[in-house]
Amino acid sequence: MKKLKCAVLGATGAAGQQFVEATKDHPWFETTGLYASERSAGKKYCDAASWIEEGEIPEYARDIVVKNVTEIEKDIQQYDVVLSALPSDLAKIVEEKCAKEKPVISTASAYRYDADVPVLVPEVNYGHIPLIEQQKKRGWKGFVVPGPNCTTVGLVVSLKPIIDEFGIKNVFMTSLQALSGAGYPGVPSLDILDNVIPFIGGEEGKVEKETLKILGKINSEGVENAPLKVSCTCTRVHVKDGHMETVFVETEKPCSAEGYKAAIAKFNEKCRKEFGDLPSYPKDAEAIVVKEEENRPQPKRDRSIGDGMSTIVGRIRSDQIFSNGIKYVVLSHNTKKGAAKGGMLGLEYLVKKGYVK
């Protein structure tokens, strides 16, 4: 197939760099336009971007001249799809301008909570995709599809087999979030060395709200939130990449450790059939990988399974507080599955289903 042309908005920032990396050598897409602030406009990308991703700036992007993101409207017809890594306040303005003409895949929270916008984690809620048809009522030819907060991703993927097979009443989660989730330059070293920070501004509210929407059901007015309660505590730890979470779930039906593993196997089979042909789907692993060792998962050892696109679950045990309950540890790569590569998987599925042409 002829590659679709992409513009990356916020290309010099951490999330934008992830899109630049994710489209390198992609069989379906190529990035041909890079946009950032006025300060970067007019410079070659190699001069404008302080590259923080592993390895070097992709060769294809080095000499692309960065343009001012506020002027994307002038060029919008050059592109088939827009990849947005803008701050949310700016995204609210610029993504709307782009969506009037083209599809927008976003890492920003600007439109996540709008009724006609799916917060897409394909393996969990691909059934929400028809919501984008409602966005035509805004007068848009395109649409906006954001991904969730990176902390939400591992949680909702791990909960999906449970809610499908056993139902869920309550979820209690404590996160141990990697430093890369704070962006660049991130948390000062003297704050995080030999320390855990037990607060991340706005994070807990986002996770609680997004989980209910993603696990909910689509209706004529948008998404009806899942009928469960979520309570979480989000912390920052001295780990480079990989968000780990301890999760306690009260289920509606009895759920044993073996029952959860069987539900995961069933979930993985569905995912292989629906997404296995997509370029960003893990080729050497499952959507959810279960670790049987008592001391796994671990960020250092497990975050790159499936090239960072698998969700890793371990320490699965019955819980004694709830009459029906399960507890486990989940790990998700926050800058891959939880960011640009997760967005690319969603985009690939939208192409497969004909929403992006």
The span from the CA of 83 to the CA of 89, in Å, is 16
Comparing C-alpha atoms, which of 285, 290, 338, 349 is closest to residue 317? 290
The identity of residue 357, as a single letter, is: K
Which of 150, 232, 234, 255 is catalytic? The answer is: 150
The span from the CA of 340 to the CA of 84, in Å, is 9
Q: Are 10 and 85 in contact (CB under 8 A)?
A: yes
The encoded tokens of residue 307 equal 């090239």
* 46 counts as catalytic: no
The span from the CA of 142 to the CA of 76, in Å, is 11
Which of 6, 98, 234, 243 is catalytic? The answer is: 243
Cα 44 versus chain centre, distance = 29
The span from the CA of 55 to the CA of 13, in Å, is 16
**Backbone Cα Rg of the chain:** 20
How is the beta sheet containing 103-106 ordered, strand by strand? Answer: 67-68, 29-36, 4-9, 81-84, 103-106, 143-146
* 243 counts as catalytic: yes
Q: 203-214 and 150-165 are packed helices; what angle lies between their axes, rounded to 10 degrees?
A: 40
The encoded tokens of residue 202 equal 């706005």
Q: Which residues are catalytic?
A: 150, 243
